[in-house]
Every structure is written in structure tokens, then in C-alpha cells.
Amino acid sequence: MKQFWFAVLIWMISSTVWAFEPFTVKDIRVEGLQRISAGTVFNYLPIQVGDKLNVLASRKAIRALFKTGFFKDVRLERDAGVVVVIVSERPSISSIDLSGNKDIESEELLEGLKQIGLADGRVYNRSLLEQVKQELHRQYYGNGKYGVKIKTEATPLERNRVAVSIEISEGQVAKIQEINIVGNHIFSDDDLADEFQLSPPTLFSFYSSNDQYSKQKLSGDLESLKSYYQNRGYINFKIRSTQVTITPDKKSIYITINVDEGDQYTVSEIQVAGDLVVPVDMLEALIRIGPGDIFSRKRVAESTGLINDVMGDDGYAFANINTVPDIDEEKKTVKMTFFIDPGKRVYVRRISMFGNSRTADVVLRREMRQMEGGWFSTKQVNRSRTRLEKLGYFTTVNVETPAVPGSNDQIDVNYTVAENPSGNFLASLGYSQTGGVILGFSINENNFLGTGKRVGLTFNNSDINTVYRLSYSNPYHTIDGVSRGFFLTYRETDAAQANLSRYTTDEAILGATYGIPLSEFSRIRAGFDIGRTTLRATGSSSQEVLNFIQENGDEYSGLGLNMRWFYDTRNRALFADNGYTHRITADMTAPGSDLEYYRIGYYYQQYIPLFKNWTVSMKGDFGYGDGYGDLGELPFFKNYFAGGTRNVRGYKDNRLGPKDSQGNSIGGSMKLTGGLELLFPTPFTKEDSKSIQLSAFVDGGNVFDGYKNFSASELRYSVGMAAIWVSPLGPLKFSLAYPINDKAGDDTQIFQFSFGGNLF
């Protein structure tokens, strides 16, 4: 209707402009402008000097100027041969004031207004403000806030300006009081309700907000309901209708879902058809459903995904896998055909890197598993991305695979990275219940001059340790990925401060390490070091310490040899949620050293994803050492220790296991620890947060004086909750643990925490 009256107005204005004979325009003059330049008017005006002006042309000119939205009135007049354009400008927006909005951030809302033309300095258009009001209502309704009230006002100001205010009263979210499912006979209401995010109020609704109605969540729940049935053979399941009823006070919601379950179907036959560029037996092995099985949409989708992955790894990046069900209504069976259209084999034309302003291209390219000129492989492209993420140089790594213009069998692979500050001078402050205040500084460059080499100078000081360390490492000493590193370390240790026997050590070590990749996930590292250790007794040292010094002296030099084997498939080094790692270690002093001994160990950890952001972690750690030659035992200052935040929580750091004659921990030559942990998302944070992690755990373990003294009954266990926060100043770890089977003489500690870097 508004458009009709607007057209009538234009017609009335244009039909009464002049009762004149057409004339030739000698000049054009514009009057009434305040902010808009005359050039802007001339740019939109479809009349030029020399044109012949008639009634039709004048109507066209007026329409063109009105269409710009700059003017609320336009008139044309004639002054001899001059056309006078008289305009009245719409006001400009002086400011936009938002109030009352909590669900929608002001910055986000202002940006949305700007996109449609409502912003400071823009021409004010009342119709746009009405559109904004309607859209805000729609968004708040979608979030379950049906009581929202939005008031918009434009206050006139001097110089033809207006101040726009948008006042929002969001109101309360409508709470779900009841969800009724009508028509279900096979599955109970309780079983189906478990599939829903939405629910009537529960004890934990204050945290999960599952009782707050949302149109988007309801759509997801309906899809989950459909999947629940179709994954159990009810292929013809239908949702007949959904009614959402709100009470007059707009505070309570009642949802009714009418369903038709249909019959359960089984799979009668599986076929693979189409252009089978991959051997059919390989494809059939990937299908996760077979004859006699109850039909499952989930298993069909999994099969399709696996086939797509195999096709993608073989270069068929744009393969289409269509599943065609042939339903026998009488026998209640389904014949499934996986129809494969591989498309053309795709090659990678070029791999490009973007965003690495500091890091050299070669540092990124040597991590590539997808090669230029080769067949495209989804697996290799994703693996390349993972390797870039695990370098630690980048905050984010994104990959795109655009098609090459004009080609149907070539793509480019583009990696875009956001660089971390890899070099830093860091002054650190930390605290642990065992080590006390930890002070330190470090100058580290993990990506020295963009070459990927690591250079570091570190000093750390705590009640336990004073450490000086100079290190250098080149992860690609050779093009094949052989690494080489050197280090020089000096360490002073006061064992008494770590809940151990009373003694101190001074240790100086110069060493080198080499790493050799064995496969994509495994690596071996070997090294040697030359070291000198000085052992000192204190006035309160135990007899065990004094006896060792009497038998072996207090200064020891020797050549150390070490070897490490790693196998790591974790998706991330920090807060991993998938994959596992194995580590086998072997350390020994070479024959002829002042102290001849060895230590071997095995560590295992696995992450098993349960569902979104929930993960189970299992770990185990075993170590054993002994002396050889003239040394009949492992030196006590090389013993293993247990207890504390790093293994068996709930017991004081290093306080489990054998004690010396004074009742202080002296450690043991054998260690066995392990744990089971449930990792789950943190309330009130983003679901993809990579800085905070919560867990519930069971820990167990102990140390023993040799394998002959091992006893399963001496293993200690604890249960509890833990949290890790990677703060800007360093990692903060704390746990609340309850020892299950502590015995007399055990030092327990229910609450434990540490702040800062590595602890003793």
C-alpha cells in the first residue's frame, strides 16, 4: 500500500511540474543541499545540458533522485532555459545508542546495522529502523525470549541530524515445562527424552540451560529423534507435526511432537556399483553394515565416509558416493546399493603458504606430506596441517583446496597460518607446595631467524633446584628430518626441600643428541653426555647417604649414553583428545665411569574420544634401574619417586615408597604408576577452549626397592578432580584428591597445586 501511495505522489508531483512545451536544457542548478555535494546529485540525475526536457524526462529525473534515498522531497522548476533542482535532504544519523542488550553484543549489533546502512554519518531511513526492530524480535524469539520489548526512537538534532536510540528489554527466557511425544509405542518416553538437549527443568539446568527453549535446539533434537529411530531400523519414521505452545505470560513452553514410528527393516543385500576405480573388495571391506543387520542410517553414513576417504586418498577428491535403498515393504527389508561416481582424478598444481611473515617457507614445506604434482590425498593434506600445528610456531593453521580455474582435474592447496611470537625473553614466577617460590628467566627462540632452529638460555631458581642451561637444536639437521642438538647444564639440588633424604648435589653436564625419524609417527633419539656430579652430605643426612659416600666417594665423572623411542599419534601436543603415545627410554653410564648404572622405562598414554569434548585418558609409567660392574645398586640420587601432581595425586610429592633410616623418602629403583582420567568441558567457557581443562581421575602407583620387593598390595590409589589452566603467565595445576588405601606412615595431601614451569 505504501508503494502505491508513493507512486501516486510521484505521479502528482511529476504531472504538475510544468505545463510547458519541451525545451533544451541550457544549465542545471541545484538548491537545498546541506551535506550532499552537487556532484552527487549530477551523478544520479539523468539530465544533462543540451538534453531536450519534457514531462516524461522530468518524471524519470524525480524518480532517480528519490531512489537514492538521500532526499525526502524533490522538485524541478524552470528558470528560462535553466532547470532548477530543489531538494530537501533526509537527516543524517548523528549517533546510535544501544541499551539493554545482553544476548547480542553491542559491537556485533552495530556491525549488523552498518551492513544495512544504519551507522553514524549515514542517511537516516525510518524503514530500515523498522526492519532492524523486526529482525531483533526474530532473533530473540529464536532464543526463547518471547517477552522481549524493543523501542526505537529518532530524536531530531540541529543541522538536520537525528540521534537514534534502540532500547531493548530482553525479558526472561521461556522455560520448557513439558515435552510430550505422541505416537511412540516401540520406545518409551524416557528413552527418547535422553536424546534431547531440551528438557523440563532438572537439577543441573542452571548449568546446562536445557530448560530454555530455542528453536535451533528443537530442530537439532528433532533430527536426533529421527536418527535414533532410523539407526534402529525404522527407515520410514516420520515426525508428523510439532506444536510449540506458550503461556499467556510468555514464560512457559509446552512442546508436543507427533510421530509415526513405522516398521523395523533389516538389510537383505549390499551392492557396490558405479565406476569402481578402487578394487571392489577394498570398498566392500569398508562397509560397516551387512545382510541380516538391522538397518542403520549411522552405519550407512560411516561407510560412505570411509569410502570417500579412500577415494580421496587415491586422488579422487570430488568423488560422489550415493546410497540407493531398495525397500521391500512386504518383507520389511532393504537392499542397499553404494553407487560410486569417482569423477576425475585430481592433481595438486601448487602448494602455497600464507601468513608466515617471519618463518621461512622451507620450514613449512618440509612438514608437507602432500606433494606438488602428485595425486591429491585428503589424508596427506590433513596430516600436513597437523604437523604444522605441532610445530608450536602458529596459533592457527587453516587449509583450503580451491579448484584451478579452467581445469577440472587440478587443485591448489593453500595453508594459511597465524604466527606465534616464537622468540621471547621471559621472566617467570611460579610456586609449588614442594618447591616453594620458583624464580627464573629465559631467552628462548624456538624459530631462530625463521629457520625452525631452537636456541635457548635458561635460569631457574627454587627451593629445590638452581638450574643454568644453554641449548641449541636443529630439527632438520639433514633434509630427511634427522635432528641434532647440543646442551650445557649446571644444576644445584637440595633434596631435602623435595621431601627427600638430606643431601645436596651439584651437577654439570655437556651433551649432544641426534634424532632419526623411523616413520610418520615414530622417532628414535640417541645422545651422549659428559658429566660431573658432586654429592654432599648435610649435618642431618641419613646413614644410607653417609654409607654411599664412604663406599663410592663424593665426586663422580662419567660418560652417559641415552636412547629414546617415541611413537606419537596424538592430534595435539597440548590438550589432546585423540590418539596415543608410547615412549621407551634407556639411560646408562658407559663402562669405566665412576658410577656404572642403567635405567630403562616405558610410558604409555591414550586418548579416547567419547562424544563432543568428552575424552577418556589412560596412562601407565614403568621404570627400573640398577648398578652394574662394581656398583651393586642404582645410586640413591638417581632413584625413582612417586606422589604428587605428576602421578599419584592425593599423596605428598615424592613421599611414596621406601624411606631412609630417618624416615625421609629415598626413592626406589623401580616405579610403577598409572591412571584413568575423564576429561570434560569447562562450564561457562567456549566449547573449543584450549586453555582450561577439567577432569575426574583415578591414580595409582608406588616405587619399590627393586623388583624383588614389588607387591601389588603396596600400590596406592586415589580419586579426585583436577584442573589445568594455561594462563598467560604459565600453567596453573591443581587437584582435589582423596587417597583410597593410604597406610600408616603415608603423607597425604588432599589439595595440591603448582604454578609455573617444570617442577622437580
Domain that holds residue 122: 92-169
Predicted pLDDT of residue 712? 92
Whether residues 749 and 601 share a domain: the answer is yes
Main-chain dihedrals φ then ψ at residue 128, nearest 5 degrees:
-65, -40
Query: Given a cut of 90, is residue 619 above it in pLDDT?
Result: yes
Query: Given a cut of 80, is residue 109 above it in pLDDT?
Result: no
User: What letter represents residue 300's amino acid?
Assistant: V
| CATH number of the domain bearing residue 187 | 3.10.20.310
Euclidean distance between the first and final Cα of the chain, in Å?
Answer: 80
Task: Give the DSSP letter string of 150-165.
Answer: EEEEEEEETTTEEEEE
Q: How is residue 179 written as a grid cell?
A: 515435552
Whether residues 379 and 522 share a domain: the answer is no
Q: How many domains does the chain have?
A: 6
Query: Given a cut of 70, is residue 137 above it in pLDDT?
Result: yes
Whether residues 337 and 379 share a domain: the answer is no
Contact yes or no for 447/422 (Cβ under 8 A)? yes
Task: Among 393, 419, 445, give the residue marking a domain's end.
Answer: 419
Q: How is residue 635 written as a grid cell?
A: 645410586
Q: Answer yes or no: is 494 within a domain.
A: yes
Predicted pLDDT of residue 635? 93
pLDDT one-digit tens code per residue, 4-14: 444 444 445 44
Whether residues 468 and 415 share a domain: the answer is no
| Gap between the Cα atoms of 504 and 297, Å rounded | 66
Contact yes or no for 578/551 (Cβ under 8 A)? no
Q: Which of 492, 493, 503 has the alpha carbon at shortest distance from 542? A: 503
Cβ atoms within 10 A of the Cβ of 678, count? 15
Where b means 16+ CB within 10 Å and e means fewer, 627-648 reads beeebeebbbbbbbbbbbbbbb
Task: Among 64, 89, 114, give the residue marking a domain's end.
Answer: 89
Cβ atoms within 10 A of the Cβ of 408, count? 10
| Gap between the Cα atoms of 350 and 341, Å rounded | 26
Please give the model's pTM, rounded to 2 decimal places. Answer: 0.63
Task: Among 41, 65, 89, give the residue marking a domain's end.
Answer: 89
Q: Answer yes or no: is 145 within a domain.
A: yes
Query: Given a cut of 80, is residue 24 above it in pLDDT?
Result: yes
What average pLDDT does this structure show over 657-679?
91
What average pLDDT does this structure show over 518-542?
91
Share of the chain above pLDDT 90, in %: 35
| Gap between the Cα atoms of 726 and 682, Å rounded | 13
Q: Please name the residue that has the C-alpha cell 603448582.
A: 754
Predicted pLDDT of residue 444? 63
Banded pLDDT at 582 (limits 50, 70, 90) = very high
pLDDT one-digit tens code per residue, 635-648: 999 999 999 888 89
CA distances from 569 to 181, 371, 385, 572, 604 (A): 44, 21, 14, 9, 12
| Gap between the Cα atoms of 410 and 416, Å rounded | 20
What average pLDDT does this structure show over 498-513?
89
| Gap between the Cα atoms of 151 and 173, Å rounded | 19
pLDDT one-digit tens code per residue, 43-91: 888 888 888 888 888 888 888 888 887 888 888 888 888 888 888 888 8
Whether residues 521 and 472 share a domain: the answer is yes
Whether residues 695 and 631 share a domain: the answer is yes
Q: Which of 367, 488, 364, 350 has the alpha carbon at shortest distance from 413? A: 350
